[in-house]
Chains A and B, each alone.
Chain A
């Protein structure tokens, strides 16, 4: 199949798309999840080696056959070590289970509520995403041995979970959101990977929040080329070169969101996506429909009571009703919230008080949640101080 092995390189994302289904087949044949997952990873390594010269007619069938062989080899080695009879000796006849796609079950298992968020993220990227432990470790800037332990602990935690138990889409959605939002930029593009996995999930379930999350990701991803300068510094939304936004992704995101909203079962990700869609809809920052954005933040606060949503709402109020109104909304919130001081600095500057704004930006830099934001706030403080001296 040429689409999976073009020329001399295997199309890895397409190959990895088959991973959860192949794990599912092995589990249905009697392999336990942890061993099945290891065997499929081994099969992937072989596929990357063999396919460029000999692309298979049926890639999934090839992976199932090779992974099953790897599983048998591993369990034989295991059992002979323990001087026991091999539990599974011969390849079973393909049964009705082969036709069933267990990909969705696998997503549920990887996001099982018994797992910590970090474990669920790691397991999802490996078993649903087909990434290697090394790739995941590089993406999260930890040693490979640490990530290997995180994954094997996660596998032990879910070892007692029955594969065919119904799961909760909401937990899967939260895990995929974490993958998307982590922001680390290693060799693996986690944002693109999160979108790929969410697309796959959206194809299997009609849950509105899956669509909401997919729309949110697409709309934010569309802005990525404009979000940072070549030197890595942040460009705030109002200053972004909107001609760099990916209009194809925006159109798709809006489309996915509208379909979801039409079902009238609002959730937090749909509300967040609606806010992103309103930003995407403005050709210039001045054309932004802040009144409608505040209304969506009201929905979001109603749905989640999240302090972050309240903070962002206060900033939006500042745009819709003027900086004094924004500062009043901000005054009701806990000043220890991340980005609270930065929001206050921004609103004070708009209110014509550069002295307070400069002081607050310098303070915001010290308590910034990330390095690019620290540099960004420092630059604002420096700009205002230079103006004040000038």
Chain B
């Protein structure tokens, strides 16, 4: 088994395959259907024994760094117009890369306006784990 991060972006990545209005322009039923899909997706992963974690990130925040002994950390941002903005993630524990890609494909089919799949781009990244005992 190997763990993969399925990363959702607010912005960034390849050009959107489907152009749709921001979620606050959808009908309430469309919003509900989308949220329900996300919840059901996590439940299905859990039932399949593949679920590790899911979190959503608020878009606001700031960059922070160390600025020397005895000085408070420096903050920068928030950057309203940064190119790439992460929205959240699922972490799955699956048999193979192919299975991770299959799951990302399913997640990308979340319903949008008119119940049509949003087809959003998801970034799939392997997590580095521990090294095996036998390598020679």
Closest 3 CB pairs of A and B: A150-B49, A370-B131, A371-B128
- Residues of chain B from 1 to 45 with CB closer than 8 A to chain A in the complex: 1, 3, 45
Chain A residue at smallest Cβ distance from B136:
A312
Nearest CB of A to B116, in Å: 31
Return 30 A-B CB contacts under 8 Å, by A number: A117-B95, A118-B93, A122-B49, A141-B93, A145-B51, A146-B45, A146-B46, A146-B49, A146-B51, A146-B52, A146-B93, A147-B49, A149-B46, A149-B47, A149-B49, A150-B49, A151-B49, A181-B134, A183-B133, A184-B130, A272-B134, A275-B136, A276-B136, A279-B136, A312-B136, A370-B131, A370-B132, A372-B130, A372-B131, A373-B131
Count of chain A residues near B, Cβ 8 A:
42
Q: Any chain B CB within 8 A of the CB of A61?
A: no
**A142-B93, A312-B136 known; A369+B49 contact, CB < 8 A:** no
Q: A140-B93, A180-B134, A220-B134 are in contact. List 5 more A-B contacts (CB 8 A).
A: A146-B51, A146-B52, A184-B130, A224-B133, A370-B130
CB distance from B94 to the nearest CB of A (A): 9
Mask: chain A, 73-86; 1 = CB below 8 Å from B; 0 = not: 00000000000000
Interface of A is mostly: helix
Residues of A contacting B82 in the complex (Cβ-Cβ under 8 angstroms): none
Shortest Cβ distance from residue B102 to the other chain A in the assembled complex, whole angstroms: 15
* Set of chain A residues within 8 Å of B132, measured between Cβ atoms: 181-183, 370
**A-B pair number, CB within 8 angstroms:** 84
B136 A237 Cβ-Cβ under 8 A: yes
B58 lies within 8 A of chain A by Cβ: no
Residues A180 and B133 in contact in the complex (CB < 8 Å), given A117-B95, A140-B93, A368-B128:
yes
Contact between B128 and A374, CB atoms less than 8 A apart: yes
Q: Is B55 an interface residue (CB 8 A)?
A: no
Taking CB atoms, residues of chain A closer than 8 Å to B120 are none
A-facing residues in B107-132 (Cβ within 8 Å): 128-132
- With a cutoff of 8 Å between Cβ atoms, the chain B residues found around residue A276 in the complex are 136
* Interface 1/0 per residue, A240-280 and B, CB below 8 Å: 00000000000000000000000000000000100110010
A30 on the B face (CB < 8 A) = no
Least CB separation from A181: chain B residue: B132
